[in-house]
Amino acid sequence: MNKYFLTEDQLMIQELAKKFADEVVAATVTELDEKHEFPMAEVKQCAEMGFLGVCVPEEYGGAGLDHLSDVLVMEQLARHSSSLASIIDAHASLGSMPILMAGSEEQKQKYLAPAATGETLCAFALTEPQSGSDAAQIRTTAVLDGDEWVINGSKAFITNSTYASTFLVAAKTDLEAKGSRGISIFIVPAGLPGFEVGKPEEKMSNRSSYSCPLSFTDVRIPKENLVGELNRGFPIFMKCVDDGRVAISAVAVGMAQGVLERAAKYSKERVTFGHPICENQAIAFKLAEMATEIEVARAMLYNTARMSDNGVPFSKEATMCKMFCSEMCVRVCDMGLQIMGGYGLCNEYEVERFYRDAKLLTIGEGTSEICRMVVGRHVLKEY
Ligand SMILES: Cc1cc2nc3c(=O)[nH]c(=O)nc-3n(C[C@H](O)[C@H](O)[C@H](O)COP(=O)(O)OP(=O)(O)OC[C@H]3O[C@@H](n4cnc5c(N)ncnc54)[C@H](O)[C@@H]3O)c2cc1C
């Protein structure tokens, strides 16, 4: 049954991702999480299947598919591994996107094409130690010296940094400009003198995905590594964040689906007072609520992806979607874990990992509070 009216291409990539997630990702995810190990083999296989550049045009090495196809892939990967899905989100929806949206032809050939095929990994570096939600207050600077930009400053929580070859870095280029003006985007290749990637943060969520501090001390990059217009980088980053919010919503829906499947199965197997626990209304009602929440979230998610694919402005909807789907995922994880009782807390049953990972969804790529501020602004402008 094709109840979401997906095209042949979309059904095909969804099936490919599902098979890979069920057969490959599921087998290693718990151990990788326990060891805080990066899923390198899985990322490479995702690259071979085209998952690292689903929306990148074929001329730049991508699969040339639409945003809904990307959403379908992310959803399937996240049914088993939020870390793997988030690594791909940081690479594709955030890291590669500024080059696709605003890069020169030369930048696309040199940096986007190897990223789309998975030859290189990208990172998106906006957040700084003193500015997360208030992203316009970044202090990293880029100053032109002859034919080179000289970058100084630091970044925080940058996903994929340990293995990324290409960093998309936001820096102030007009020190007098207030707010979000005077910020530009640069491509900074890994390994340059003065550019250091710190140790990954020890965090409770997404333990197989590495988010690190970065420091730049007189890092020199060629003049042509500026992406898009000088001092006009912030709107590009924000547009990428819209795409990222759709992708992270797909992670939320996929994770919630993964929890529903595990909790429903467990409820049929676990017997108390002589009956499987699913025969208690208290359990069946929870499963019904979880399934309904997921259905609402998925409808909103697919519609938002379709808006993006049809060129309809979707910034408000992407933010609403991120807010709703991430919070829905936290609620579903809570219900799923409750259904599983004490075993829900044990890593063997996996839902404890989903429960930990889900919390990140309400923080990264715009906290729930910031999402409400953004949506509230749209609403007040409209009515
Ligand atoms: C695992 C992980 C991976 C990440 N990956 C990346 C990455 O790859 N690239 C990148 O650039 N960034 C990344 N981030 C950063 C992430 O986007 C920020 O953590 C997030 O935007 C929140 O910023 P903050 O942590 O500084 O919180 P703060 O901005 O300090 O906020 C603290 C609290 O105050 C609330 N708050 C702030 N301002 C207001 C307000 N005006 N009204 C009401 N409440 C408010 C927030 O909602 C939050 O609850 C990552 C973060 C994590 C945890």
Distance of CA 225 from the midpoint of ligand 1 (Å): 27
Contacts of residue 111, defined as CB under 8 A and 6 or more positions apart, other chains included, come to 99, 103, 120, 122, 166, 187
The kind and range of the H/E element at 284 are helix 281-309
Active-site residue list: 365
In this prediction, residue 266 carries a pLDDT of 98
User: By C-alpha distance, which of 158, 231, 232 is closest to 188?
Assistant: 158
Q: What percent of the chain has pLDDT over 90?
A: 98
Ligand 1: does its nearest atom lie under 6 Å from the Cβ of 157?
yes
CB-based contact 182:230 (threshold 8 Å): no
In this prediction, residue 27 carries a pLDDT of 98
User: 123-231 adopts what CATH topology?
Assistant: Butyryl-CoA Dehydrogenase, subunit A; domain 2 (2.40.110)
Hey, which residues does 166 pair with through a beta bridge? 122, 189
What is the average pLDDT value for the chain, to the nearest integer?
A: 97
Domain limits, the chain: 8-121, 123-231, 235-382
Ligand 1: does its nearest atom lie under 6 Å from the Cβ of 249?
no
In this prediction, residue 1 carries a pLDDT of 85
Q: Residue 179: is its pLDDT beyond 90?
A: no
User: By C-alpha distance, which of 114, 117, 100, 97 is closest to 49?
Assistant: 117
Distance of CA 364 from the midpoint of ligand 1 (Å): 6
Average pLDDT over residues 169-196: 95
Residue 251 confidence class, pLDDT cut points 50, 70, 90: very high
- Choosing from 157, 158, 207, 374 the residue with most ligand 1 atoms within 8 A of its CB, the one to mutate for a pocket test is 157
Distance of CA 216 from the midpoint of ligand 1 (Å): 21
CB-CB neighbours of 316 under 10 Å? 18
Ligand 1: does its nearest atom lie under 6 Å from the Cβ of 124?
yes
Give me the CATH code for the 235-382 domain, please: 1.20.140.10
C-alpha 28, offset from chain centre: 20
Ligand 1: does its nearest atom lie under 6 Å from the Cβ of 133?
yes
Q: Residue 178: is its pLDDT beyond 90?
A: no
In this prediction, residue 147 carries a pLDDT of 97
Burial of 16: CB neighbours in 10 Å, binned 0-12, 13-18, 19+: middle
Distance of CA 131 from the midpoint of ligand 1 (Å): 8
Q: Could you confirm whether domain 8-121 is CATH 3.90.600.10? A: no
Residue-wise pLDDT tens digits, 287-304 = 999 999 999 999 999 999
In 205-361, where do the E strands start and end? 211-222, 226-227, 271-272, 275-276
CB-based contact 334:355 (threshold 8 Å): yes
Q: How many CA atoms lie within 13 A of 179 on its CB side?
A: 3
Cα separation, 125 vs 135, whole angstroms? 11
Residue-wise pLDDT tens digits, 37-80 = 999 999 999 999 999 999 999 999 999 999 999 999 999 999 99
Distance of CA 370 from the midpoint of ligand 1 (Å): 9
User: By C-alpha distance, which of 137, 161, 141 is closest to 149?
Assistant: 141
Cα separation, 141 vs 139, whole angstroms? 6
Q: Which atom of ligand 1 is nearest to the CA of 135?
A: 21
Average pLDDT over residues 78-83: 98
Ligand 1: does its nearest atom lie under 6 Å from the Cβ of 125?
yes
Ligand 1: does its nearest atom lie under 6 Å from the Cβ of 295?
no
Cα separation, 221 vs 285, whole angstroms? 58
Hey, which residues does 169 pair with through a beta bridge? 125, 186
